[in-house]
Amino acid sequence: MKLFIFHTPELTPTDKVPECAIAVDVLRATTTMATVLAAGGEAVQVFSDLDQLLAVSEKWSSEKRLRAGERGGSKVPGFDLGNSPLDCTPEVVQGRRLFISTTNGTRALQRIQDAKAVLAAAFVNRAAVVQYLLEKQPETVWIVGSGWEGSFSLEDTACAGAIAHSVVQQTKLSQDELAGNDEVISAIALYSQWQDNLLQLLHLASHGKRLLRLNCDEDLKYCSQTDILDVLPIQQEQGVL
């Protein structure tokens, strides 16, 4: 297995596709997606465009769908939900499809949607994603951070490092053998330094600070938890996990 980490969708190569690609948006899109599926959601369908989301979801009855829209950290007016994983309780999501559009996370997923296997990862479901990698042993794996509007996100790279760190620990591979690019080595170093203080790391991150200004302290606490959900969001058809 060779692992490559790309900090943003913009830094991700466009001239090839890997066997397995993983989108990461710890704050908060991929955390929300994992939470919805773990809570019994039927599926998660991602859109970059809000109008397209409204048009496609119109074909589902309102009992079978939930529309989630986030821009700039806030809920889009008229949508059922914003992008807080804390709103995605079994009572709310069970048996329903989540149609979701967020600022960066859905773009990262769309950027990798042609890979043979497409996953969504966050700290909350890190172990399930690592388990998949260990079982399937894909030759090439890309982890793509969502970043924020094209720039680096500390928390996404730390989560990519958490995945890489766990693969190294559970295989005979050294960091050097696993790493396809230098980003893997630096992501493992970042995670190793902060693994016992992930909430503090989220408080240092620029998007963490943006969410704190929106009173999302509890969201940061939830998103900083590692391996709490045994769920593997994996693409079933294009754009649907």
Minimum CB separation of residue 153 from ligand 3SL in Å reads 9
Q: Which is nearer to ligand 3SL, 188 or 202 (CB)?
A: 202
Minimum CB separation of residue 105 from ligand 3SL in Å reads 3
Amino acid occupying residue 186: S
Minimum CB separation of residue 149 from ligand 3SL in Å reads 8
Q: What are phi and psi of 117, to 5 degrees?
A: -125, 130
Minimum CB separation of residue 157 from ligand 3SL in Å reads 15
C-alpha distances out from residue 7 to 64, 122, 150, 236, Å: 35, 14, 9, 25
Q: How far apart are CA 156 and CA 171, in angstroms?
A: 23
Edge-to-edge order in the sheet of strand 65-71:
43-46, 97-101, 65-71, 74-75
Minimum CB separation of residue 201 from ligand 3SL in Å reads 15
* Exposure letters 186-221 (e unless 16+ CB within 10 A, then b): bbbebbeebeeebeebbeebebbeebeeeebeebbe
Q: Which is nearer to ligand 3SL, 57 or 103 (CB)?
A: 103
**Which has the closest alpha carbon to 36: 108, 97, 119, 82?**
97
Question: In the complex, which residues of this chain contact ligand 3SL (CB under 6 A)?
Answer: 25, 27-29, 70, 73, 83, 102-105, 146, 211
Q: How far apart are CA 130 and CA 20, in angstroms?
A: 12
- 3-state DSSP assignment of residue 153: coil
Q: Which is nearer to ligand 3SL, 35 or 103 (CB)?
A: 103
Minimum CB separation of residue 32 from ligand 3SL in Å reads 7
Q: Which is nearer to ligand 3SL, 146 or 166 (CB)?
A: 146
Q: Which is nearer to ligand 3SL, 122 or 133 (CB)?
A: 122
Q: Which is nearer to ligand 3SL, 28 or 97 (CB)?
A: 28
Relative to beta strand 65-71, strand 74-75 is antiparallel
Minimum CB separation of residue 143 from ligand 3SL in Å reads 16
Q: Which is nearer to ligand 3SL, 70 or 183 (CB)?
A: 70
Q: Please, what is the angle between helix 182-194 and helix 154-170, to 10°?
A: 90
In this structure, what DSSP letter does residue 85 have? G
